[in-house]
A and B are shown apart, each in its own frame.
Chain A
């Protein structure tokens, strides 16, 4: 190698992951100083540690087991531009919001990852319940934030959690005090408008949610993500959930991201003794989607239910990675994920169940089913059971198939067109997940969306 080359400053080639990382580092350096001025030292420290960790981890590659079937190349070519700096809610944002908002349900709206009070409506929440911008709450509700924020999610091993944490500068805090029940569900709506990007450039937002439910606190939360169809953007979302003893949370994640969007989202849950956590992951949009759910059942008798329904057409990829960590005895968990794929869509399902040595009398059941409506649709599915206790019940099953030809014929002999018969069978397949949705307005919305998406490609 010649001396001239050695002396040249190292510059990663354009369009490479290294360049994208360098871009995030540069952006971080610009952002860090201002953020440090308004944040407590512990948080700035956590952010800097997370940035350092992101630099070390880099973007995951398909050589890593957890990302084997999911290439993040589309978002690793260049750093996304942080979106929405002008702060004003555009007409587009209001339109997107209208499309997904459940009428009559209190809503917190985040615009490009930042709390948008002018779009939020929080009337009717019981006294004591906190729903606030995470940063403004740093003063008023320091205790739960300092105790839990960045401590539940895993920024050490998961690069996107590290990236989200590095840019932590907003988000939502929800606190349900002990022995308090939310009288109505609460919506968290994350709207991406990607307003800051120059033409063709990907924008990025890092929405963050911390939900803490005190002893026997109870609530229903609908976390919705929506964005435009006409341009690429990247939503890098992290949600941390802490349930104290006997708390009950029914969580819905409704993904209505745009057709060019990348959504990489993780939800980390710590469930204490006798608490009940139910998750409904409803992924109805996005081009590259990764949903991680990691639930730790850290107290005796904690119960966990994970339901999932995902739809993908075109060349979309949707990856669901779930982990249920049974750390204590007598914890039941139930998991049912169902996917409907058409065109050349791909899906990944990885369901990990850990049963620690102390977790006797664990009862874990996992089911995952996929309906492939075309010859080129594809799914990679893997149960991953790590069992270290001996008195446990763990079952898992996977079924991948096409529409039942005999059933189709039967329906047609009664006068239903092929398209109607197919739609009826597809809806029947998705039906049991939809029926588990306890909010009638959300259930109706789901049925409408399912129908619309099926008309678009699956019939």
Chain B
């Protein structure tokens, strides 16, 4: 059997002077979709950020292996070029940087790293038009500065749009559903589902079960107090939706 795509072992992370992740173990294989759920402050977003290389978090213990290499030893841009993508919970606005120009530079940086020829302007425009259509993203947004003046929903769709263009191997979606109405949620989910493949894996971080009606996960993990306290299949998400997170505190963590 092939080595797992991502192996998180006893991961402990500090940020802002506090212990946030207190020993996480998680294995993600190619082709799988893992949902991470949990109450506010449980460490969900910290997990996403440490995987993407955010400088504000400190690795205290444990390790993260991506394709059998230490992920935490790589710079954020090296991770991206190796196929890791993060869809931000709060995408940053970058005045003066054209959305399409930036994405073309990013795509070509990744292609160059893989030894593939750079895409020219024509090929690139054909690609982004097709992917923008998939996400019902207004084409005029391509020629605006990155995220500047975008609505909350447009920013989230722009994240998933970038993902469909960059075609990562491992995608981490940090609360992509927050702030989306049901129509936008369906569009985003269909964009993600179109990307699902045996060679690709997703980690979907969400507060609500609703997203998982549309992106059906193979595994659901509950993060609480910086630890995974429960793992199961998609039915676990439904139980959380009905009963909240309170019952988990009294039951021992289940075996995966």
Tell me the A residues contacting B by CB distance below 8 Å. 404-407, 409-418, 420-421, 424-425, 427-429, 431-432
The residue in A410, A425, A428, A432 that gathers the most chain B C-beta atoms within 10 A of its C-beta is A410
A414 near B52: Cβ-Cβ < 8 Å: no
Separation in Å of the A454 CB from the closest CB of chain B?
Answer: 15
One digit per residue, 1 when the CB lies within 8 angstroms of any chain A CB and 0 when it does not, for chain B 149-169 equals 000000000000010001000
* Chain A interface, DSSP helix/strand/loop, else mixed: helix
Interface size class on chain B is 20 to 34
Number of A-B contacts (CB under 8 A): 79
A365 to B55, CA, bound (A): 39
Separation in Å of the B102 CB from the closest CB of chain A?
Answer: 7
A418 near B94: Cβ-Cβ < 8 Å: no
A406 to B97, CA, bound (A): 14
A417 near B109: Cβ-Cβ < 8 Å: yes
Q: Which of A413, A416, A418, A425 contacts B105 (CB under 8 A)?
A: A416
**A429 to chain B: which residues have CB within 8 Å?**
96
A412 near B80: Cβ-Cβ < 8 Å: yes
B77 near A410: Cβ-Cβ < 8 Å: no
Minimum CB distance partner of B109 in chain A? A415
The residue in B81, B88, B106 that gathers the most chain A C-beta atoms within 10 A of its C-beta is B106
Q: A412-B76, A413-B76, A421-B77 are in contact. List 16 more A-B contacts (CB 8 A).
A: A407-B97, A409-B53, A411-B94, A411-B102, A414-B77, A414-B106, A414-B162, A415-B81, A416-B77, A416-B105, A424-B105, A425-B94, A425-B97, A428-B94, A428-B96, A428-B97
A410 near B92: Cβ-Cβ < 8 Å: yes
A404 to B95, CA, bound (A): 11
Q: Which of A412, A413, A414, A428 contacts B95 (CB under 8 A)?
A: A428
Q: What are 17 inter-chain pairs, A to B, with CB distance below 8 A?
A: A405-B55, A410-B94, A410-B146, A411-B94, A411-B97, A411-B102, A412-B75, A413-B53, A413-B77, A413-B79, A414-B106, A414-B109, A414-B162, A416-B106, A424-B102, A427-B96, A429-B96
A417 to B79, CA, bound (A): 11
A415 near B77: Cβ-Cβ < 8 Å: yes
B77 near A418: Cβ-Cβ < 8 Å: yes
Minimum CB distance partner of B108 in chain A? A415
Which residues of chain B from 31 to 59 have any CB-CB distance to chain A below 8 Å in the complex? Answer: 52-55
Separation in Å of the A380 CB from the closest CB of chain B?
Answer: 25
Separation in Å of the A149 CB from the closest CB of chain B?
Answer: 42
The residue in B102, B110, B145 that gathers the most chain A C-beta atoms within 10 A of its C-beta is B102
Closest 5 CB pairs of A and B: A428-B96, A414-B106, A415-B80, A412-B77, A412-B76
Separation in Å of the B114 CB from the closest CB of chain A?
Answer: 10
